[in-house]
Amino acid sequence: MIEPQHPVTDARTAETLATRLAAVCQRMAAAAERVGRPAGAVRTIAVTKTVPPEVIAQACALGLRDFGENRVQEAQRKISELKLSDIRWELIGHLQTNKAARAVELFVRVQSVDSVRLAETLNAKAAALGRMLPVLLEVNVAGEASKSGFAVEDVVDAAGRVTRLEHLRPEGLMTVAPLVEDPEAVRPVFRRLRELRDQLREVTPGGTSGGWDELSMGMSDDFELAIEEGATLVRLGRALFGERPAPV
């Protein structure tokens, strides 16, 4: 149980969170409707990097169940403090191979598989724990030097290799779009990821191991565009929790 440190502030935070969540749900439903998709076709991953455990508990109380963290250590602290059993934690940030074992223990899915070597390490750790680990392949669609992820031209080959790893279940693709002034400028990035996913469905059907259904794309500034382009998962931090403190 988490004791609110300051009841008044706490109630206000919960109210703000509820208001933001309602607005986000409405915008998501409207975006889906514009392109004739059912609102239920898109799931929200609440991104909780820098968000304190008591606020995560409030988000959970509002019905959110899917949470994304970027760092293994930060996630581990929160998961052990919160002990909320029906939360699904997903890893969405770059993973170093030396933290792969811990990641397999903590997360229901790793969205940020960005190399075949990482996939092989995760597969070995999942095998050791006797579990099947769902993964998404992260794609650096815009080819930005600052971002991790497979290059577009490497995705089909990588997907073929990952599909053969017995303890990983590849479920789709993930991307982080470039930061741009005009969100409309990222539409081609989302469209490209969807085309890649459709291509994978043809060439690497995945056998027993899943169907490349998931498209994890869209964040606070561009989730409506991503939904219009076929996102099945949107990863929302600031739209739900407000601005993050500036990194030090």
Q: Tell which residue, 153, 154, 120, has the closest CA to residue 135.
A: 120
Place of tokens 């409707």: 33
**Which member of 42, 133, 139, 239 binds ligand PLP (CB under 6 A)?**
239
Single out the segment in contact with ligand PLP by CB under 6 A; choices: 19-27, 33-41, 113-121, 217-225.
217-225
Quote the tokens at residue 202.
Answer: 């043809």
Closest CB to ligand PLP among 70 and 97? 70
- Helix (H) or strand (E) run with residue 114 in it: none
Single out the segment in contact with ligand PLP by CB under 6 A; choices: 102-110, 125-133, 191-199, 216-224.
216-224
**Which member of 16, 70, 76, 148 binds ligand PLP (CB under 6 A)?**
70
The DSSP secondary-structure symbol of 217 reads -
CB 79 within 8 A of CB 98: no
Tell me whether strands 109-113 and 133-138 are parallel, antiparallel or unpaired.
Answer: parallel
Quote the tokens at residue 96.
Answer: 């170093």
Q: In the bound complex, what is the minimum distance in angstroms from residue 236's beta carbon to ligand PLP? A: 5
**Which member of 149, 206, 210, 237 binds ligand PLP (CB under 6 A)?**
237
If one asks whether residue 16 binds ligand PLP (CB under 6 A), the answer comes out as no
Q: In the bound complex, what is the minimum distance in angstroms from residue 233's beta carbon to ligand PLP? A: 10
If one asks whether residue 47 binds ligand PLP (CB under 6 A), the answer comes out as yes
CA distance 209 to 158: 15
- Helix (H) or strand (E) run with residue 46 in it: strand 43-47
Quote the tokens at residue 141.
Answer: 């669609």
**Which member of 158, 176, 226, 227 binds ligand PLP (CB under 6 A)?**
176
If one asks whether residue 20 binds ligand PLP (CB under 6 A), the answer comes out as no
Contact residues for ligand PLP, defined by CB under 6 A = 47, 49, 70, 92-93, 176, 219-221, 235-239
